[in-house]
Amino acid sequence: MHSTEEIRHLLSNWGELRAQDASLWKGDEKTLPQEIADFYAQIGPWGEVIYESVGPVGITLSVGGNPVCIPPLGRLFGLQAGYAWQSDPDKPFDNWPGHWLVIAEQGGDPFIYDRLSGQVLFAFHGAGHWAPKVFAPDLYTAIGALVTVANAHQALDEQELNLDDGLSTEGKARILAELSRFTGSAEQAAAMLAAWEYYE
């Protein structure tokens, strides 16, 4: 399990962090998992405030391709629209389990916190049904992995980053190596990238 301090340090390079009380959650308080509440209270992705009337926009990670967006707590409930329901939380979609909570998204593809297992899943949208794969065993590993990939991608040089064909073999190896260092396991890192279909 990765520490709060480690994840906070990694995430702080990408935007403002601010402790956020569970009262900012717009849904029923019983539907906010304690791990998510603790994550926002102790780490608190806040991001930039572009317009005072809009408030914080959250943190955006450049990972190559579409960025990964992590909302502040005040926007997390609203992020469920389009996944758990269309426009009315009281009219949920039949194909979206009630124990799933979207915690981040990449071009509409959700990273999902499973309230039952504590795992974080990743799924592609637009297939007509949801078929998520396990991305990480817990929330902190998921967030830390996403930031680690973002940091590694940002540090790639021209040889490693082939803009015409995506990542070069060297670039893929560097990202895998950095993620392996974070997780402590090359096997786990490879499995996470495969579930995310990061290299596809």
Summarised one tens digit per residue, pLDDT across range 86-129 is 888 888 888 899 999 999 999 999 999 999 999 999 999 877 78
Question: What average pLDDT is seen over the chain?
Answer: 92
Residue 155: both structure tokens together: 């540090």
Characterize the bridge pairing of strands 133-136 and 166-167: unpaired
Residue 163's pLDDT band (cuts 50, 70, 90): low
Summarised one tens digit per residue, pLDDT across range 42-80 is 999 999 998 887 789 999 999 988 999 999 999 999 999
DSSP code, position 17: B
Give the span between the Cα atoms of 42 and 46, in whole angstroms.
12
Which CATH fold would you assign to the domain 4-139? SMI1/KNR4-like (3.40.1580)
Tell me what pLDDT residue 46 has.
Answer: 97
pLDDT surpassing 80 at residue 4: yes
Residue 19: both structure tokens together: 């402790």
pTM: 0.94
Q: Please report where in the chains the tokens 């990273």 appear, as a residue.
A: 111
Helix-, strand-, coil-residue percentages of the chain, each rounded to 5: 35, 20, 45
pLDDT surpassing 90 at residue 179: yes
**% of the chain residues with pLDDT over 90:** 74
Of residues 131 and 163, more confidence is placed in 131
Of residues 157 and 24, more confidence is placed in 24
The region of weakest confidence among 31-35, 124-128, 169-173 is 124-128
Give the span between the Cα atoms of 18 and 182, in whole angstroms.
24
Question: What is the C-alpha R_g of the chain?
Answer: 17
Domain ranges in the chain?
A: 4-139, 143-196
Give the span between the Cα atoms of 179 and 97, in whole angstroms.
30
Tell me what pLDDT residue 18 has.
Answer: 97
pLDDT surpassing 90 at residue 150: yes
pLDDT surpassing 80 at residue 159: no
Half-sphere exposure of 4 (CA within 13 A, CB side): 13
Q: Please report where in the chains the tokens 């998510």 appear, as a residue.
A: 36
Residue 199's pLDDT band (cuts 50, 70, 90): confident
Residue 88: both structure tokens together: 């009315």
- Is the alpha carbon torsion for 69, 72, 73, 79 positive or negative? negative
The region of weakest confidence among 47-56, 133-142, 158-167, 188-197 is 158-167
Q: Do the Cβ atoms of 103 and 113 come closer than 8 Å?
A: yes
pLDDT surpassing 70 at residue 169: yes
- Is the alpha carbon torsion for 189, 198, 14, 23 positive or negative? negative
Tell me what pLDDT residue 47 has.
Answer: 95
H or E segment at 122? Answer: strand 120-122
